Amino acid sequence: MPDLENTVIIGSGCAGWTAAIYAARANLNPLVVTGAMPGGLLTTTSLVENYPGFPEGVDGNRLMESLRKQAERFGARTRFGSVVEAVKFAASPIELTVDGKPVFTKTAIVAVGAGHRHLGLESEAKLDTKGVTYCATCDGPLPVFRNKPLVVVGGGDSACEEAMYLTRFGSVVHLIHRRDQLRASKIMAERTLAHPKIRPVWDSVVQDILDVKKDAVTGVVVRHVKTQAVTEIPCAGVFIAIGHEPNTRIFKGQLDMNENGYLKVRSPTTRTNAPGVFACGDCVDSIYRQAITAAGSGCAAAMDAERDLAAQG
């Protein structure tokens, strides 16, 4: 049987690495299983301007590298690989399978994050980070969007929040929604629609994203779902806010989650329904979804795991 770990951290975004820093400093010698995208979603953002401590902003990759180095300095071990199957959280010790190999541990911290839901267009993938983005808070203030027409896709609270935020930067914000009524909460919907810079585009879907200038968004092609009429809207940025999908599918049946797949924890702790298993970051949080809130919950998860280990004796 392989060595018994104290704690295995599943995921290597802000939550995972922060949990690793705290667990390592508590002498738990944690093992971090990175997942398919080491560093998580933040590595896809060029400049992170809202992470405290970096007055000039910090490159997403650099920030994650710094967190990794900080965790490793205190003894965290990194295993590049994914927990993709056969998770036995109910077993004692907990059993995980990392790329086909078993790993046994007394505690586990689930920090698998969430992915942005995508439209699924070829042009969306091609222009990702070249005007197509999934985070107004991260990218909205970038100079390329200043005083330019912008597009937000979606009709939920996220889309409304993004659109409102972008009114600070864009000359106008087109809010493209596939129905004629927003899904967002009433107060948010009313506030959004009342904003003079926000122009709703109802019953419409984005059919294509244009880059006439090559490698920079110049507009979107929109199709009206009732009349099938196709129009073009010039814009410098397309902010897609059609929801998130937590990366929790492999834990179904083992960890309690809500109907959208977000893991349930016994708030204010990070404890899940499975003994010795803690969860933090974007796979738990459907509201804030910021690097700094993920980091904070990663810290809490490590402290919860440490207490659990002390109780296990």
Show contacts with ligand NAP in window 236-255 (CB under 6 A). 242-244
Beta bridge partners of 230: 223
User: Binding marks (x or -) toward ligand NAP, 106..145, rule CB under 6 A?
Assistant: -----------x-x--------------------------
Residue 74 tokens read as: 């205190």
Q: Calculate ∠ Cα 176-158-9, nearest 5°.
A: 135
- Residue 45's CB is within 10 A of a number of other CB atoms, namely 20
Amino acid occupying residue 307? R
Among candidate residues 207, 89, 112, 200, the one with its CA nearest the CA of residue 152: 200
Q: How far apart are the first and last CA of the chain?
A: 21
Show contacts with ligand NAP in window 178-197 (CB under 6 A). 178-179, 183
Beta bridge partners of 233: 220
Rounded distance between C-alpha atoms, residue 127 and residue 307, angstroms = 46
Identify which of residues 81 and 296 has a Cβ nearer to ligand NAP in the complex: 296
Amino acid occupying residue 109? I
Q: How many C-alpha atoms does 124 have within 13 Å on its Cβ side?
A: 17
222 makes contact with ligand NAP (CB under 6 A): no
Nearest approach in angstroms of CB 180 to ligand NAP is 10
Nearest approach in angstroms of CB 1 to ligand NAP is 42
Identify which of residues 99 and 180 has a Cβ nearer to ligand NAP in the complex: 180
Beta carbons of 306 and 28 less than 8 angstroms apart: yes
Identify which of residues 5 and 157 has a Cβ nearer to ligand NAP in the complex: 157
57 makes contact with ligand NAP (CB under 6 A): no
Calculate the alpha carbon distances from 135 to 108, 170, 219 in Å: 29, 15, 18
Identify which of residues 119 and 151 has a Cβ nearer to ligand NAP in the complex: 119
Residues, the chain: 313
Among 161, 285, 306, 308, binds ligand NAP (CB under 6 A): 161
Distance of CA 122 to the CA centre of its chain: 21
154 makes contact with ligand NAP (CB under 6 A): yes
Identify which of residues 221 and 309 has a Cβ nearer to ligand NAP in the complex: 221
Residue 169 tokens read as: 């930067």
Active site residue ranges: 135, 138-139
Nearest approach in angstroms of CB 185 to ligand NAP is 6
User: Binding marks (x or -) toward ligand NAP, 264..303, rule CB under 6 A?
Assistant: ----------------------xx----------------
Nearest approach in angstroms of CB 293 to ligand NAP is 13
Nearest approach in angstroms of CB 136 to ligand NAP is 11
Rounded distance between C-alpha atoms, residue 90 and residue 254, angstroms = 7
162 makes contact with ligand NAP (CB under 6 A): no
What is the contact surface with ligand NAP in residues (CB under 6 A)?
117, 119, 153-159, 161, 178-179, 183, 205, 242-244, 286-287
